[in-house]
A and B are shown apart, each in its own frame.
Chain A
Amino acid sequence: MKIAPPPTGPVPWQPELALAMVRDMLRIRRMEERAAELYGEQKIRGFLHLYIGEEAVATGAIHALEAEDNIVATYREHGHALLRGMPMRTIMAEMYGKREGCSRGRGGSMHLFDAKLRLYGGNAIVAGGLPLAVGLALADKLQGVRRVTACFFGEGAMAEGAFHEALNLAALWKVPALFCCENNLYAMGTALARSESQTDLCAKAASYGVPTAKVDGQDIVAVHEAAKKAQQHVREGKGPFFVELQTYRYRAHSMFDPELYRAKQEVEEWKTRGPLHTFTARLKAEGKLTEEQFLALDAEVAKEVEDAVAFAEAGSWEPVEDLTRDVTAA
């Protein structure tokens, strides 16, 4: 595949915003790297899907949303949860399976929930969240609440019937749903071209009468600016919007994936246009970031990560007696 050159050009933001973006991408990156290590040590079990390489997508998009907006995500949602405001400690504890985790240790890596933060998961069924997002948006519309429901999903979800039903319903009922397709080119081991007859994903969404935008997901400036416009459209009650964010995951689909489906060369080439280092390079070129500042940020983030790990390590297990608690309300 032909890979575009790294994102370049001026960053039209104040230093505070730019630094916040760097910090948040770095927080996701370091948290995910540590999670990989912990998985190898068998502290995190089951399935673990890492966001490394895709950080600009969640960071740029969620910075464009308001605190009251709803977020529906997938099993690759640690970054989304973190940016939403879930403490890294809570995420880590949940991945450890501890009671102090956001879901009391019942969900693990794939099922991060927070009712107060309006984070509706964390879903292990591909495309499972799309109809849910339609319903949340519908509820807001019927109750007269001005709010956006942002639904993140991978391009693999676009093959599921649920995607098509959800887009159709969203457009038909003109609900305030922002559909963010994180196109990382591979649905587990299947490349986009091998799974979609029509690889122009925006064209598919557009066929439902939904306005679309295609964005370089590795360029956080592009992501954030596009997300701002899209959420504005949705928030003003003009109906749903579909954004395709073209990105790439550096690591395997999940931890036990030998990546037989793509060439190492391709991964290395994508790494040259990675979201973090290309952004910091641009900032440094404009004098908005120094190496010292970056190292200080990294050190700060490292502390946050270690604190989160220590918190998870010290956490407790939900008592077995509570097993049948919260199956139903009664």
Chain B
Amino acid sequence: MIEFKLPSLGADMDQGKLLEWKVKPGDAVKRGQVIAVVDTSKAAVEVEIWHDGVVDELITKPGETIGVGTVMAKLSGAGEPAVPPKAAAPAPKPAAAATKPAAPARKPAAVPAPSIPPPLRKPASPAARKRAHELDVDIDKVTGTGPHGAVALADIEKAAPKPTTPAPPAPDRQAEMRKAIAAAMSRSKREIPHYYLSEAIPMHRALEHLARANEARPVTERVLMGALQLKAVALTLRHYRELNGFWRDGGFQPGAGVHVGVAISLRQGGLVAPAIHDVDERSLEELMRALADLVKRARAGSLRSSEMSDPTVTVTNLGEQGVESVLGVIYPPQVALVGFGRIVERAWAEDGALRAAPVVTATLSGDHRASDGHRGARFLAALREQLQRPEEL
């Protein structure tokens, strides 16, 4: 059976209108014979068929507009038995949608002459804005001396408070950072009596929940397990305040909120652990955005000083690096550090049955001056339970 389809007759042809058939059912046709006349935007064109055969059925009716590739007629090939024409074969719906009706003259909507709105914010150069952000200077309070009174870089430099934190990175930034980390870690080990606890946490519920929730999210907004874990830690810490705060002047000061320091490794080597504020109050989507932003700025070297000084606890997730568990060093003056390893498939007993389950090892390094193993263990158990109720996160 041969299908005669409307061919493309030109580079910009999408459709054509059948004007007339040159054959009828039962007629024999030869290769190269003109069997139809089709109207295109330029003119009426005679259309050839490229096969020998006998016409069985003319499907498209004269006057119909059809798209390129539409089957217009059916034929039997030479040698095939001719199919008797069907009586009153119903014509398939023509691609009426393809017909473009003459576009009604559109009345152009009255476009108001664009007037330049007054600037919504104080004019300042990009360099000035960047520096103001870095130095925590409020641009609105700065007098501009640039062109048309815009705030320029020099104006920000003048307005910035004398920095209490170390001066802007010296040329050998790397060495400076290493020194700082060395000092902090040494001090931590010297001064803080660490105790360590670890807990294996089944993650199948959390993984399934995450996978389901992510299905509905666009790829760029998918939530990662890291964010889930951060939120779980933050929520649990609400009930274990002695793990969330600072050891200062011989005593414990609870943190004003749960500001979780996220350990971020830098490409050139070195580690920073800036804070995301109020993790317990943030949605997972917000956490993801905050995480991404933090990583980007940490690697670009443009973290705010408040982010560096505010963490009330630190979470370090070395799952990506492939270790099963982390026994970390607490960042003074914090009193705790929660570690996550990678999620591993393990044999797991639950309700008397053995199954393969994804399991993560969570650890707590605690400052024994501020908390003890008993409380630490209860915290880890509560964290484990929280991660079994991922819908709450």
Residues of chain A touching chain B, judged by Cβ–Cβ distance below 8 Å, are 33, 37, 39-42, 45-47, 254-258, 260
- How distant is the Cα of A95 from the Cα of B97 in the complex, in angstroms? 31
- How distant is the Cα of A70 from the Cα of B13 in the complex, in angstroms? 37
Q: Which of B8, B32, B43 has the most CB of A within 10 A?
A: B8
Residue of A nearest to B13 (CB): A256
The reply to whether A47 and B11 contact each other, CB–CB distance below 8 Å, is: yes
The reply to whether A42 and B69 contact each other, CB–CB distance below 8 Å, is: yes
The reply to whether A37 and B13 contact each other, CB–CB distance below 8 Å, is: no
Residue of B nearest to A260 (CB): B43
Interface of A is mostly: loop
**Contacts known (A256-B42, A258-B40, A258-B42); A40 close to B11, Cβ less than 8 A:** no
- Please indicate the chain B residues that have their CB under 8 angstroms from the CB of A254 in the complex: 10
13 contacts across the A-B interface (CB closer than 8 A): A37-B50, A39-B7, A39-B8, A40-B8, A40-B50, A41-B8, A42-B8, A47-B11, A255-B9, A255-B10, A256-B13, A256-B42, A258-B43
What is the 8 Å Cβ interface bit string for chain B, positions 42-65, against chain A (1 contact, 0 not)? 111100001000000000000000
- How distant is the Cα of A254 from the Cα of B13 in the complex, in angstroms? 13
List 3 A-B pairs, minimum CB-CB distance, nearest first: A256-B10, A40-B7, A258-B43
Residue of B nearest to A34 (CB): B50
Q: Which B30-45 residues have C-beta < 8 A from chain A?
A: 32, 40, 42-45
Judge if B351 is at the interface, Cβ distance under 8 Å: no
- Please indicate the chain B residues that have their CB under 8 angstroms from the CB of A46 in the complex: 11
Judge if B68 is at the interface, Cβ distance under 8 Å: yes
- Please indicate the chain B residues that have their CB under 8 angstroms from the CB of A260 in the complex: 43
Judge if B12 is at the interface, Cβ distance under 8 Å: yes
What is the 8 Å Cβ interface bit string for chain B, positions 134-161, against chain A (1 contact, 0 not)? 0000000000000000000000000000
- How distant is the Cα of A272 from the Cα of B43 in the complex, in angstroms? 27
Residue of B nearest to A37 (CB): B50
The reply to whether A256 and B12 contact each other, CB–CB distance below 8 Å, is: yes
Interface of B is mostly: loop
Q: Which B66-81 residues have C-beta < 8 A from chain A?
A: 68-69
- How distant is the Cα of A34 from the Cα of B68 in the complex, in angstroms? 19
The reply to whether B11 and A256 contact each other, CB–CB distance below 8 Å, is: yes
Number of interface residues of B (CB under 8 A): 17
- Please indicate the chain A residues that have their CB under 8 angstroms from the CB of B10 in the complex: 254-257
- How distant is the Cα of A256 from the Cα of B43 in the complex, in angstroms? 10
The reply to whether A41 and B43 contact each other, CB–CB distance below 8 Å, is: no
The reply to whether B7 and A41 contact each other, CB–CB distance below 8 Å, is: yes
Residue of A nearest to B42 (CB): A258
Residue of A nearest to B69 (CB): A42
Residue of B nearest to A46 (CB): B11
What is the 8 Å Cβ interface bit string for chain B, positions 1-25, against chain A (1 contact, 0 not)? 0000101111111000000000000
- Please indicate the chain A residues that have their CB under 8 angstroms from the CB of B8 in the complex: 39-42, 45, 255
Residue of A nearest to B41 (CB): A256
- Please indicate the chain A residues that have their CB under 8 angstroms from the CB of B13 in the complex: 256
- Please indicate the chain B residues that have their CB under 8 angstroms from the CB of A41 in the complex: 5, 7-8
Residue of B nearest to A39 (CB): B8
- Please indicate the chain A residues that have their CB under 8 angstroms from the CB of B68 in the complex: 42
- Please indicate the chain B residues that have their CB under 8 angstroms from the CB of A255 in the complex: 8-11
- Please indicate the chain B residues that have their CB under 8 angstroms from the CB of A40 in the complex: 7-9, 50
- How distant is the Cα of A36 from the Cα of B44 in the complex, in angstroms? 18
- Please indicate the chain B residues that have their CB under 8 angstroms from the CB of A257 in the complex: 10, 42
Residue of B nearest to A254 (CB): B10
Q: Which of B7, B12, B13 has the most CB of A within 10 A?
A: B7
- How distant is the Cα of A13 from the Cα of B43 in the complex, in angstroms? 46
- How distant is the Cα of A47 from the Cα of B10 in the complex, in angstroms? 7
Q: Which of A33, A41, A256, A260 has the most CB of B within 10 A?
A: A256
- Please indicate the chain B residues that have their CB under 8 angstroms from the CB of A39 in the complex: 7-8
- How distant is the Cα of A42 from the Cα of B14 in the complex, in angstroms? 11
- How distant is the Cα of A258 from the Cα of B10 in the complex, in angstroms? 10
**Contacts known (A37-B50, A42-B68, A42-B69); A256 close to B9, Cβ less than 8 A:** yes
- Please indicate the chain A residues that have their CB under 8 angstroms from the CB of B40 in the complex: 256, 258
Q: What is the minimal beta-carbon distance from A144 to any residue of chain B, in angstroms? A: 45
The reply to whether B11 and A45 contact each other, CB–CB distance below 8 Å, is: yes
Given contacts A46-B11, A255-B8, 11 further A-B contacts (CB under 8 A): A39-B8, A40-B7, A255-B10, A256-B9, A256-B11, A256-B42, A257-B10, A257-B42, A258-B42, A258-B43, A260-B43
